[in-house]
Each structure stands twice: as structure tokens, then as C-alpha cells.
Amino acid sequence: MRLHVTEAESAVLAALWARGPLSFASLIEEVKAGQPWADATIKTLLHRLMQKGAVRSQKDDGRQRYHAVIDRQTWVEGEVQDLLDRLFDGKPDRLVALLAERPDL
């Protein structure tokens, strides 16, 4: 079973993928660089990701740091598979045909 990550949650993961393990303060700063969210919103998203098992916390040098458990490539592949299943009956050739017909996409 694939882990479902919302678009908002993916912004938190993107910060962790880009900068590696981060303290809470650094994670907040990194996410806020791309999103106009309040600290509480980011904290909620982080908590959800931890409940799902997508992020874990670990003490490093006495500081709590957050690590992405899933890697970006695995997440992207799952998102593409969901798209294929939802819109193209799970058949990649149908997506490829659409992209070939519409290179502007």
C-alpha cells in the first residue's frame, strides 16, 4: 500500500529532501521560503507526516532533527502511478500518447 501524501504535506517533504535533516526551526524557515503558512500549519503538517511514517525525528548532537523516511523518487513514482490508474486505466502508453499529441503540456 502506497503512502498518501497531500500536496501541502509534500511541501514539508520537499524542504527535507532539499536540505536534509532539519531542526524544527530550520524546517519552518525552509517551508516558509516557499509557502505563506503559519508555524502552526507547518507543525500540523509535520505531525501528520510523522503519523503516516513519512517523517521521523531523531536526536542529533542534542537537537531534535526531522528526517524524510520516503525518498523523492519513490514518492514521484507513486504519484505517477496514481495518475495512470486514475486517468489512463493504469496504462502508461495512454499517457505517452497524450503527451506526444500535446507537446505543449
Each residue's pLDDT tens digit, 34-65: 999 999 999 999 999 999 999 999 998 888 99
pLDDT exceeds 60 at position 94: yes
Higher-pLDDT residue of 3, 44: 44
One domain for residues 30 and 78: no
| Residue 62: all three cell numbers together | 542534542
Q: How far apart are CA 89 and CA 100, in angstroms?
A: 18
Sign of CA dihedral 70, 74, 78, 83: positive
7: exposed, middle or buried (C-beta count within 10 Å: 0-12, 13-18, 19+)?
exposed
Q: Is residue 29 part of a domain?
A: yes
- pLDDT > 90 fraction of the chain, expressed in percent and rounded: 87
Domain span at residue 84 reads: 72-101
Of the CA atoms within 13 Å of residue 70, those in its CB half-sphere come to 22
One domain for residues 26 and 54: yes
Q: Is residue 32 part of a domain?
A: yes
pLDDT confidence bin for 1, thresholds 50/70/90: low
Q: Is 55 helix (H, G, I), strand (E, B) or coil?
A: strand
Q: Is residue 2 part of a domain?
A: no
Q: Is residue 1 part of a domain?
A: no
pLDDT exceeds 90 at position 15: yes
